[in-house]
Amino acid sequence: MQYSFDYSSVLEYWPQFLHGAWLTIQLSFGATVLGFALGSLCAAASNSRSRWLPRIVGIYVEVIRNTPLLVQLFLTYFGLSSIGLPMSATVAAMATLVVNVGAYTTEIMRAGMDSVSPGQIEAAECLGLSRLQIYWHVILQPAMERVYPALTSQFVLMMLATSITSQISAEELTAVANLVQSMTYRAFETYMVTAAMYLCLALLMRAGFTLLGLVLFPRRRKLGTPI
Amino acid sequence: MNTIVKVENVHKCFDQTPVLKGVSFEVGKGQVVAVIGKSGSGKSTALRCINRLESIDSGSITVCGHRLHDDRLDLKTLRRDVGIVFQSYNLFPHLTVEQNVALALKLVRRLPRAQASAIADRVLAQVGMADKARSYPEQLSGGQQQRAAIARSLAMEPQLMLFDEVTSALDPELTGEVLQVMESLARGGMTMILVTHEMSFAAKVANQVIYMHEGKVHEAGDASILRAPQTQELRRFVGSGL
Amino acid sequence: MGNASFNLAYFGYMLQGAAWTVGLSALGFIGGGILGALVALARISRRTPVRWAASLYIQVIQGIPLLVLMFLCYFGLGLMGYDVPALAAAACAMSVYASAYLGDIWRGCLQAVPRAQWEAAECLGLSPAQRMLCVIVPQALRLATPSTVGFLVQIVKNTSLASVVGFVELVRAGQMVNNTLFEPFAVFSLMAVLYFAMCYPLSRWSYALERRLKTGRRTRLAA
């Protein structure tokens, strides 16, 4: 092998890499929060008594889960602009990610909410709690505790998937990597550094979620057992 | 006598199957009524109709002045006046025992946290669970969980308490502690309707015993009917040692 | 507006791309499956360094985006002096990616086989290899089928990233059609429909398998 690795020329760009990582974090955070909100609403909607609301949510979930994120991005960014709805790459990336995460969150939250036994809902009704109070205190909180691992795994996967938004020229870490690679001609080293940075981000994210879980769920913190 | 519950000629079907075929009885203030009968006799259904967990097809039920058969029924006030304890406790697993008891106090009666906690602690002491207030349901035995469930309903200061086979899911050695709590509640003057298989408890504590058979009140009277049943079916039921 | 109209030739071109999608998915699944099986077995090995190596492998691969992995394989293989066709790089990346996820899934399924089965097989005098092949793996396979089929859907969707390194699968084909027709909404919608047609049946199959697994276990216990 004639190739000699040269990481120094790539590592010179560490400010740009850090900036890209920061943009990735921002994109992921926004998509996580909004996607979670959307998913929770849709999960609640899919349990509603109306006839068409669950069906619409079902279609939404299946369409998103059975098409690639890249295609969804292209449709949003290129497709929608061509039919009169232009938007910046950042907006397109964020919107697509939110809709994407929302679909996966819906499924996870629905499974969590279905696992709450009807007896507890009955008990809450008999104590006089309103529907909204039952939803928040008796259904959502234990459901969230139960699906927290699955939910946070999904969010980490989404952070990694933000790399795909580089294909619609959104600004994040992979876009920076592509730029650095084109300037240093050291493609392999560039992407090794990028991979290492994503790995760090993923580990940080997991650690962050674990800590958050300990704060949010005192029962888990004290007993250590799954709910 | 102040009538707390008046059930008149109630009929109910599940799908096409009739479950209640003309049930009538009355419960006065401070009375303890034991409803007994075989599985499928309709006793749990009748109980669940009293706090509107089930709706009735015809007849009338009046509970604490609320007319259940009326469309304009205020469900919220009804639920505040009637407490219920279930066979499977139904405690909220993500909350401690004290939080379980205080939840409705904060959300429904809108009490401030300190006051709600104080009431919760008092009621838990009443059922003998003061030392377990900070425990989670999964750390408790069945008897302890059921006592916590009783405390949770009791804290809302209902006028009437319903007990749906609350000892049936417990190991025999744990039923005693729960029955003890129920007996002290009765002696304190709480109006109670219990669906139960505990014949000796019914004989000891109940003012009125209702024997249900095939969806109807087959025999009713004071606790003496358990010792000297009038009808053949009740004789067979009591004789089978249930 | 495009100056050419969408006719059967363009549709055929995209279908060709879809065929390559299926091909790359198969390559990724087979490569990832073989490697993943090794990873799963390594993860439950009795030798600690082997277990740790497998765990590290899974953690690392699951911590980097597939797109970056694709670039690494593409440029990395090119470094070694080979003129790497995009298909090889994409298949390599997909296999490595799939091996980490499948290895993790299958490890979970192997561990989900009740302890009693392992002990019973040992008491019968079976060698470790016989234990795995005849008793544990068949049961683990049954448990693994729903999530494996579910992951196959992920593989099919992820082949879309091979377009970035120049492999002509469905997305690349669609992009090339769009560059001629300039009808992004129609072309990308068709792309989505074709992906949906490939993935949705697999998803349904995975749900059905999962349902059968749940009820199957219940009826067995009742007997």
Domain boundaries, chain C: 8-216
Q: What is the pLDDT of residue B81?
A: 92
Q: What is the pLDDT of residue B72?
A: 81
Mutate which of C175, C178, C185 to disrupt the A interface (most A C-beta within 10 Å)? C185
- B65, B34, B68, B70: which is closest to B51 by C-alpha? B68
Give me the architecture of the C8-216 domain, per CATH.
Orthogonal Bundle (1.10)
Among B1-5, C3-7, C74-78, C96-100, name the most confident range. C96-100
Q: Does A198 touch chain C (CB under 8 A)?
A: yes
For residue B85, what are the β-bridge partners?
Answer: B163
Cβ <8 Å between C189 and A79: yes
Instruction: State the nearest Cα–Cα gap between C76 and chain A, in angstroms.
Output: 6
Q: What is the pLDDT of residue C5?
A: 59
At C81 the three-state DSSP class reads: coil
Q: What is the pLDDT of residue C134?
A: 85
Rg (CA), chain A: 21
For chain A, what percent of residues have pLDDT higher than 90?
A: 80
Q: What is the pLDDT of residue A2?
A: 56
Q: pTM of the full predicted structure?
A: 0.86
Long-range contacts of C108-116 (CB under 8 A, 24+ apart): C109/C140, C109/C141, C109/C143, C109/C144, C109/C147, C110/C40, C110/C41, C110/C44, C110/C136, C110/C137, C110/C140, C111/C44, C112/C140, C112/C143, C113/C139, C113/C140, C113/C143
B72-95: b (≥16 Cβ within 10 Å) or e: eeeeeebbbbbbbbbbbbbbbbbb
Q: What is the pLDDT of residue C222?
A: 38
Asked if pLDDT for residue C78 goes beyond 90, the answer is no
Band of pLDDT at residue C132, cut at 50, 70 and 90: confident
Nearest by CB to A66, from C65, C80, C199: name it.
Answer: C199
Q: CA nearest A220 in B: which residue?
A: B94
Asked if pLDDT for residue C16 goes beyond 60, the answer is yes
Average pLDDT on C188-217 reads 91
Answer whether C touches B (≥3 Cβ pairs < 8 Å). Answer: no
Q: Does B227 touch chain A (CB under 8 A)?
A: no
Average pLDDT on B28-47 reads 92
Q: CA nearest A126 in B: which residue?
A: B79
Digit-coded pLDDT (tens) for C157-187: 999 999 999 999 999 999 999 999 888 999 9
Band of pLDDT at residue A166, cut at 50, 70 and 90: very high
- Range in A115-129, A190-204, B62-76, B184-198 the model is least confident about: B62-76
Q: What is the pLDDT of residue C1?
A: 44
Instruction: Convert chain B into a string of H (helix), E (strand) and C (coil).
Output: CCEEEEEEEEEEEECCEEEEEEEEEEEECCCEEEEEECCCCCHHHHHHHHCCCCCCCEEEEEECCEECCCCCCCHHHHHHHEEEECCCCCCCCCCCHHHHHHHHHHHCCCCCHHHHHHHHHHHHHHCCCHHHCCCCHHHCCHHHHHHHHHHHHHCCCCCEEEEECCCCCCCHHHHHHHHHHHHHHHHCCCEEEEECCCHHHHHHHCCEEEEEECCEEEEEECCHHHHCCCCHHHHHHHHCCC
**CA distances, C25 to each of A37, C19, C92, C156, C176 (Å):** 33, 10, 11, 5, 21
Cβ <8 Å between A223 and B92: no
Cβ <8 Å between B94 and A219: yes
Q: What is the pLDDT of residue B160?
A: 95
The CA distance from C203 to C195, in Å, is 12
Cβ <8 Å between C80 and A69: no
* pLDDT, chain B, mean: 91
* pLDDT, chain C, mean: 89
Band of pLDDT at residue B242, cut at 50, 70 and 90: very low
Q: CA nearest A73 in C: which residue?
A: C188
CB–CB of A35/A95 below 8 Å? Answer: no
HSE-CB at B43 with a 13 A cutoff on CA atoms is: 24
Band of pLDDT at residue C138, cut at 50, 70 and 90: confident
Q: Does B158 touch chain A (CB under 8 A)?
A: no
Q: What is the pLDDT of residue B241?
A: 54
Asked if pLDDT for residue C223 goes beyond 70, the answer is no
Question: Please, which residues 166-205 of chain B have a Cβ atom closer than 8 Å to chain A?
Answer: none
- B45, B5, B38, B2: which is closest to B160 by C-alpha? B5
Residue type, B16: Q
Task: Show which residues on chain C lie within 8 Å of chain A, measured between beta carbons.
Answer: 60, 62-69, 71-72, 75-76, 79-81, 153, 157-158, 160-161, 163-164, 171, 178, 182-185, 188-189, 191-192, 195-196, 199-200, 203
Q: CA nearest B155 in A: which residue?
A: A127
Q: What is the pLDDT of residue C214?
A: 79
- List of residues 6+ apart from A32 with CB closer than 8 A: A101, A155, A158
Long-range contacts of B165-168 (CB under 8 A, 24+ apart): B165/B44, B165/B87, B165/B195, B165/B196, B165/B197, B166/B85, B166/B86, B166/B87, B166/B194, B166/B196, B167/B196, B167/B197, B167/B198, B168/B87, B168/B197
Q: Does A179 touch chain C (CB under 8 A)?
A: no
Q: Does B107 touch chain A (CB under 8 A)?
A: yes
CB–CB of A99/A38 below 8 Å? Answer: yes
- Range in B2-16, B183-197, C63-77, C121-135 the model is least confident about: C121-135
Digit-coded pLDDT (tens) for A169-179: 999 999 999 99
Instruction: State the nearest Cα–Cα gap between C123 and chain A, in angstroms.
Output: 33
Instruction: State the nearest Cα–Cα gap between A109 and chain C, in angstroms.
Output: 17
Cβ <8 Å between A174 and C68: yes
Digit-coded pLDDT (tens) for C104-123: 999 999 988 888 888 888 89
Q: What ipTM score was computed for the predicted complex, to two decimals?
A: 0.91
Superfamily of domain A8-223: MetI-like (1.10.3720.10)
Q: What is the pLDDT of residue B240?
A: 66
At C25 the three-state DSSP class reads: helix
- Range in A195-204, B143-152, C9-18, C73-82 the model is least confident about: C73-82
Band of pLDDT at residue B50, cut at 50, 70 and 90: very high
For residue B240, what are the β-bridge partners?
Answer: none
Q: What is the pLDDT of residue C81?
A: 72
Band of pLDDT at residue C3, cut at 50, 70 and 90: very low
Digit-coded pLDDT (tens) for C39-59: 999 999 889 999 999 999 999
Digit-coded pLDDT (tens) for C63-76: 999 999 999 999 88
Q: What is the pLDDT of residue A111?
A: 92
Asked if pLDDT for residue A211 goes beyond 50, the answer is yes
Q: Does A111 touch chain C (CB under 8 A)?
A: no
Mutate which of A115, A126, A138 to disrupt the B interface (most B C-beta within 10 Å)? A126
Q: What is the pLDDT of residue C6?
A: 60
Instruction: State the nearest Cα–Cα gap between A42 and chain B, in angstroms.
Output: 24
- Rounded (5°) CA angle C197-C203-C207: 150
The CA distance from B109 to B112, in Å, is 9
Higher-confidence position of C46 and A35: A35
For chains A and B, count residue pairs whose Cβ atoms are closer than 8 Å.
71
